[in-house]
Chain A
C-alpha cells in the first residue's frame, strides 16, 4: 500500500515537474547537445555539415584572435565587476536612508537596466562620436574614444557599468532592508559609529546578496555582447574590445564557421562553470548568519 502511494506521489510529482522539465530539455539541454555536435562538424549554414572530429578544437586553441578575446574578456570583467559592485553598494546605502526623492532616484537608476542594451549602445555611440559627439562637445576635445585601442575597452566598460549599476543597487537595498534593527541598535549601544556599523554589521550580513550579485554579474559580464557590439563592431580597434561573445558571433554569423564558434561557446561555458564553482566555494562557509 505504502509503496503504491509513494509511486503515485512520485508520478504526480513528475507530472507537476513536466512543464519546467520540458523547458529545460528543449531550451537548455538540447541546445547544449547541438552545440557539442556542431563542435565536431564543419558547417557554413548553407552546405551540409561535415564531420571533422577534433579539428575545430585544434584550430580554435591555435587561433590568436580567440586567445586574445579570452584576455579581453577577463580584462572587461575585472574593469566592470569591482566598480559596478562598489557603486551599487554605495548607491544602495545612500538610497536606503529614505531621504526625500529616494524613490524617484531609485527609478532613475534602474531605467538603463530595463532599456534594450542595443538601443543604449546606439545612443552611447552618438555620445562618444568624435565629430559632433556629446562627450567631446562637453570636454572640448577631439578624442576618438571608440577608435583608440587604449580607450575603447574602458569606454565600453563604463557604459556597461552605467547600465548595470541600478540593478545591483536594487539587490543591495533589499539586502540592507533585511538587516534586523536590533543588531543595528545593539551596535549603536556598543558605541559603533556609522563607518564601523557598515563594515562590521551590515556588510557581513549582506554576504548572501553579495554572492548573488557577484555570481550573476560575473556571468553576465563574461557573456556581454549587445552593448559592445553596438559600440564597437568588428571587435573594436585592433581587437581591443573583441570579447568572447563578439568573437563567437563573428565566427558564427560573419565568417560562417559554426563548428569553430561552437567550440568557443563550449570554452566559455567551461570557464563560467569554473568561475561560478570558485565563487561558490569561497562563499560557502561565509554565506549566512542564522538569525533565528
Chain B
C-alpha cells in the first residue's frame, strides 16, 4: 500500500489548506484586530494594473513616512478573473481594505452596502477630481470611491516604419459601413497587411493563410474596439441598464469589424484573440501589427516594449465622427474593514494631489486627480511622445461605458455568442439579437 501514501499526504495537505482557507474566511474584523492593538495597522489595496502597482508602492512609502503606524500593502490580481474573485472575497469577508472597481461592476457593491461612502470627510478634495469620474461613480446620490485613473479616450498607436513603408497617411482615416467610396480606413488597413510573399491584402494574389503583418487590431475588445465603432456609427450598446446592441447601427458596426477580420483579413483570426486580450498588444509590440487601437492603459506597455518608432494618431472617424468610450477607475473602501480610520486616511491620500502624482510620474496612467496630471504629461513630453490624442478623444463626443447591477452575469452571457460572431460562424445580426436577449435575461435575473 505504499502507493497510497501520496494520496494520504495529498489529502492531509488538502485538509490543512482548507483549514487555512477557513481561518482566512473569518471576518476581517477578527484576524486584524490584533495588528491594530500592537500599534501598527496594515491597510491592503487590491488592483489589477501592474504598472500602477509600482507607482502605488512608491506613493505608499511616502504615505507611511507621513503616517507612522500605518503600513500599506498592494495586492495584484489579474484582470481576467478580478471581478469573479472580488465578489467571492467580498461575500466571504475576505476582501482587501481598499480595492479598485470599474464602472461596469461597482453597482451591486454600492447597492448592497459593501462600499464606504465617500462622504463629507472628502469634501475638500472632491473638487479636484475629474468631474466625469465623480459622475460615473455617483449612485443614489452618493459617491462610492476615490477616482484614481481616467482612461482618456481611445486612439491608434501606429508603427511608424510600417506605415511609412506602405505609404499610408493615418492622421485622418475614415471608415464607412455603407459607402465604400468614403472608406479610407479599410484601404489603409489593407495596404498595411502583408503575407509571406510581401503581397498586400488588397492584392488578388494575397495569401490569407500566410499573413506575417496585420494592418489593424480588430477583435472582440469592448473598450478599445467595438464600443467606439458603435459610437462612431451612431449606435448604442445600452439604454439605461437595458442592452440594445442589436440595433441597426450597432449591427453595421459589428459587421464592419467582423469583416475586417474574416473577409478582408487585415486582423488575425478571433481564434487568436477571443480568449487572449493581450495577443494583439503583444503582436504590435513585436512589430507585427501596424495600427493598434487602444487607450492610455497600454501607453506604458507600448513605450517599454516597442523597439521601433511609434506615434499616436486619432482613431478612424465613422459616419458620426469619432465617438470614444471614456472610462474611469476608482479605489473603493471596504465597508467592512476592521480599521475604518486608517483606510479613510489611505483613501484621502489616494485622492490628494501628493498621493496621486505618483501614478503619472512614471507615465503609468492618467490620474483622475486633475492637479496630479502634470507629472504624467511631463513624463511623456520628456520622452518626446505626443499623447494628446487620448485627451482629445475624451474631450470630443463620448459614449459612456456599460453599467448595471448585474453586469458581470450579462457579460458572461454574451461572451460565448460574441466569440462565435467574431469567429465568423454566427451571422452578426442574428448573433447580436441572441446575445442581447441572453444579456438582458442575465441582467434582470
Contact: A46 with B87, CB < 8 Å?
Answer: yes
Flag whether B15 is at the interface (Cβ < 8 A).
Answer: yes
Measured CB to CB, the nearest residue on chain B to A47 is: B112
Contacting B412 at CB < 8 Å: which of A26, A27, A47, A250?
A: A250
Q: How many CB-defined contacts (below 8 Å) exist between A and B?
A: 79
Contact: B2 with A174, CB < 8 Å?
Answer: yes
Contact: A131 with B275, CB < 8 Å?
Answer: no
Binary contact track A236-249/B, C-beta < 8 Å → 1, others 0? 01110000000000
Measured CB to CB, the nearest residue on chain A to B416 is: A234
Binary contact track A142-174/B, C-beta < 8 Å → 1, others 0? 101011000000000000000000000011001
Chain B's interface: helix, strand, loop or mixed, by majority? helix
Contact: B415 with A129, CB < 8 Å?
Answer: no
Contacts of A23 in B (CB 8 A): 15
Flag whether A112 is at the interface (Cβ < 8 A).
Answer: no
Measured CB to CB, the nearest residue on chain A to B409 is: A255
Instruction: Scan residues 1-23 of chain B and give those whose CB is less than 8 A from a CB of chain A.
Output: 2-3, 15, 18, 22
Q: What's the interface size class on B, roughly? A: 35 or more
Contacts of A39 in B (CB 8 A): none
Contacts of B22 in A (CB 8 A): 26
How far is it, in angstroms, between the C-alpha of A26 and the C-alpha of B18 when the chains are bound? 10
State the Cβ distance, B43 to closest chain A Cβ, in Å. Answer: 23
Contact: A147 with B408, CB < 8 Å?
Answer: no
Instruction: Scan residues 220-260 of chain A and give those whose CB is less than 8 A from a CB of chain B.
Output: 232-235, 237-239, 250, 253-257
How far is it, in angstroms, between the C-alpha of A130 and the C-alpha of B269 when the chains are bound? 9
How far is it, in angstroms, between the C-alpha of A288 and the C-alpha of B108 when the chains are bound? 58
Q: What's the interface size class on A, roughly? A: 20 to 34
Contacting B275 at CB < 8 Å: which of A47, A142, A233?
A: A233
Contact: B18 with A27, CB < 8 Å?
Answer: yes
Binary contact track B261-293/A, C-beta < 8 Å → 1, others 0? 000000011111011000100000000000000
Measured CB to CB, the nearest residue on chain B to A174 is: B3
Flag whether B91 is at the interface (Cβ < 8 A).
Answer: yes
Instruction: Scan residues 241-269 of chain B and give those whose CB is less than 8 A from a CB of chain A.
Output: 268-269
Contact: A256 with B423, CB < 8 Å?
Answer: no
Flag whether A45 is at the interface (Cβ < 8 A).
Answer: yes
Contact: B412 with A147, CB < 8 Å?
Answer: no
Flag whether B183 is at the interface (Cβ < 8 A).
Answer: no
Contact: B408 with A256, CB < 8 Å?
Answer: yes
State the Cβ distance, B217 to closest chain A Cβ, in Å. Answer: 13
Contact: B423 with A237, CB < 8 Å?
Answer: yes
Binary contact track B407-445/A, C-beta < 8 Å → 1, others 0? 011001101100110010000000000000000001001
Instruction: Scan residues 248-282 of chain A and give those whose CB is less than 8 A from a CB of chain B.
Output: 250, 253-257
Q: 14 interchain pairs (CB within 8 A)?
A: A44-B108, A45-B87, A45-B88, A47-B112, A131-B272, A144-B271, A147-B269, A174-B2, A234-B412, A237-B420, A254-B412, A255-B409, A257-B409, A257-B445
Tell me the A residues contacting B by CB distance below 8 Å: 23, 26-27, 44-47, 129-131, 142, 144, 146-147, 170-171, 174, 232-235, 237-239, 250, 253-257
- The 6 A-B residue pairs with the shortest CB-CB distance, nearest first, are A144-B271, A147-B271, A45-B91, A46-B112, A255-B409, A254-B412
